[in-house]
Amino acid sequence: MDARGAVARINLEAVRHNLRVAKQLAPGARAIAVVKANAYGHGDLTVAAALKDEAELFAVARFEEAQKLRAGGIRQPILLLEGFFNVAQLEYAARHDFHICIHQFAQLEALERTPLARPVTVWVKIDSGMHRVGFAPEQADEVFARLARVAAVLQPVNAMTHFARADEPEQRAVTEAQIARFQQVTKGRVKATALCNSAGVIAFPEAHADYIRPGIMLYGITPFGDQQGSDIGLRPAMDFTTTLIAVREHKAGEPVGYAGSWVSPRDTRIGVIAVGYGDGYPRMAPPGTPVLVNGRRVPLAGRVSMDMATIDLGPDATDKLGDEVLLWGQGLAAEEVARHVGTIAYELVTRMTARPRLEYIGE
């Protein structure tokens, strides 16, 4: 007998393939591969190293994420999507070839009063309609004019914006308005522009511009709620797996697990699998959420606990202790699991905990 806990097998060849898909969709554009949040749970250093020949830039959300990539030997420029938040970060960014996004006047003022050893590459974030961060289109003139006078800034600057609803096919007009607003204030004023997240890359070719910023699609997951990555030729990069650690005979009418919230309608075999919310498998996954066991879909039965979950293998099951169970990945899309859980696949892969081992293939 042998069984082990949860393992996320990451296929780096799939990640490379997915970036190539993005670049084929946007043939004229260069790629800023988004590897924030530990490359959406896939391991940022390893993923970035695997893309070193294909991505022109990397992007992260946090300063520490960029530092980690640089310290780990990644050489491309690294775009800080929310920029810098103190002078030490600004100086470090300039020294280490981080590109900085600036989205508010506090950052512009810091640039104006901080002399830098080397000029820094700046991306001005325009709020074209997301209304989260960014300069309003009416402020763009002033921002570009002030930046043009800053010696510490590489001239001319770049500009970017972010779409709020590019993943909603019936809301095309919203994104089209964002594109128009952005182009209006940046045309002829900047060196390069970047608008597209994965949904933009896939659905808005007119906005591919100079750089694309694909994130989720690199990991084989589509941003569109009713599809899965394989529909557009993406390959899932993560197989999140565990094993059966017990197979039990179970009587009709008996409950399983905490709160007895699931009661079996029949005599059956219950499989106990070594995964729980302590690994990042969502506690909110309801009974009926599928897992893949020996090539067939098997439903969760009972509540997900910290270290274990239970599945209804069926009365005739021949599955054995130690058999592998796929929680999502090749053959069972994270998008489908997410729909059962009532969330998005972004959240599933990103909120895995440190407990599952990450294993790599295709290095």
Ligand X SMILES: *Cc1c(COP(=O)(O)O)cnc(C)c1O
Return binding residues. 132, 306
Binding-site size, ligand X (CB under 6 A): 13
Give the shortest CB-350-to-ligand X separation in angstroms. Answer: 10
- Verify binding: residue 214, ligand X, rule CB under 6 A: yes
Does residue 40 contact residue 48 with C-beta atoms inside 8 Å? no
How many other C-beta atoms lie within 10 A of the C-beta of residue 93?
23
Closest-by-Cβ residue to ligand X is 215
Strands 324-328 and 290-293 come out as antiparallel
- Verify binding: residue 134, ligand X, rule CB under 6 A: no
- In the annotation, is 23 catalytic? no
Q: Which residue out of 23, 36, 40, 211 is catalytically annotated?
A: 36
- Verify binding: residue 198, ligand X, rule CB under 6 A: yes
- In the annotation, is 36 catalytic? yes
Tokens of 99: 């590109």
- Verify binding: residue 229, ligand X, rule CB under 6 A: no
List, as residue ranges, the binding site for substrate. 132, 306
Does residue 163 contact residue 130 with C-beta atoms inside 8 Å? yes
Give the shortest CB-61-to-ligand X separation in angstroms. Answer: 6
| List of long-range contacts for 206-211, beta carbons under 8 Å, 24+ apart | 206/179, 207/175, 207/179, 208/25, 208/26, 208/28, 208/29, 209/29, 210/29, 210/30, 210/158, 211/29, 211/30, 211/31, 211/32, 211/56, 211/57, 211/160
- Verify binding: residue 162, ligand X, rule CB under 6 A: yes
- Give dist(CA 35, CA 278) in Å, integer: 23
Q: Look up residue 354 and give its DSSP letter.
A: S
Q: Report the Cα 98 to chain-centroid distance in Å.
A: 20
- Give dist(CA 162, CA 32) in Å, integer: 14
Q: Which residue out of 52, 187, 258, 320 is catalytically annotated?
A: 258
Tell which one of 6, 69, 81, 273 touches ligand X (CB under 6 A): 81
Q: Which of these ranges, 5-13, 168-176, 207-215, 307-315, lies near ligand X under the rule CB under 6 A?
A: 207-215
With tokens 């070719």, the residue in question is 205
**Environment class of residue 307 by beta-carbon count within 10 Å: exposed (0-12), middle (13-18) or buried (19+)?**
middle
Give the shortest CB-348-to-ligand X separation in angstroms. Answer: 13
Tell which one of 216, 234, 272, 345 touches ligand X (CB under 6 A): 216
CA dihedral 90, 99, 81, 148 (to 10 degrees): 80
- Give dist(CA 195, CA 189) in Å, integer: 15
- Verify binding: residue 161, ligand X, rule CB under 6 A: no
Does residue 244 contact residue 33 with C-beta atoms inside 8 Å? no
Tell which one of 223, 290, 302, 329 touches ligand X (CB under 6 A): 223
Contact code string over 33-72 relative to ligand X, x by CB under 6 A: -x-x------------------------------------
Nearer to ligand X, 73 or 169 (CB): 169
With tokens 């974030």, the residue in question is 125
Give the shortest CB-346-to-ligand X separation in angstroms. Answer: 7
Nearer to ligand X, 34 or 325 (CB): 34
- Give dist(CA 211, CA 262) in Å, integer: 50
Q: Residue 315, preceding bond cis, omega within 30 degrees?
A: no
Binding positions for ligand X, 314-333, rule CB under 6 A: none
Tell which one of 9, 23, 181, 213 touches ligand X (CB under 6 A): 213
- Verify binding: residue 15, ligand X, rule CB under 6 A: no
Tell which one of 121, 197, 228, 350 touches ligand X (CB under 6 A): 197
Nearer to ligand X, 222 or 241 (CB): 222
Give the shortest CB-117-to-ligand X separation in angstroms. Answer: 28
- Mutual orientation of helices 105-113 and 87-95 as an angle, nearest 10°? 70
Give the shortest CB-141-to-ligand X separation in angstroms. Answer: 23
Give the shortest CB-337-to-ligand X separation in angstroms. Answer: 18
- Verify binding: residue 208, ligand X, rule CB under 6 A: no
Binding site for ligand X (CB under 6 A): 34, 36, 81, 162, 197-199, 213-217, 223
Give the residue numbers marked as catalytic.
36, 258
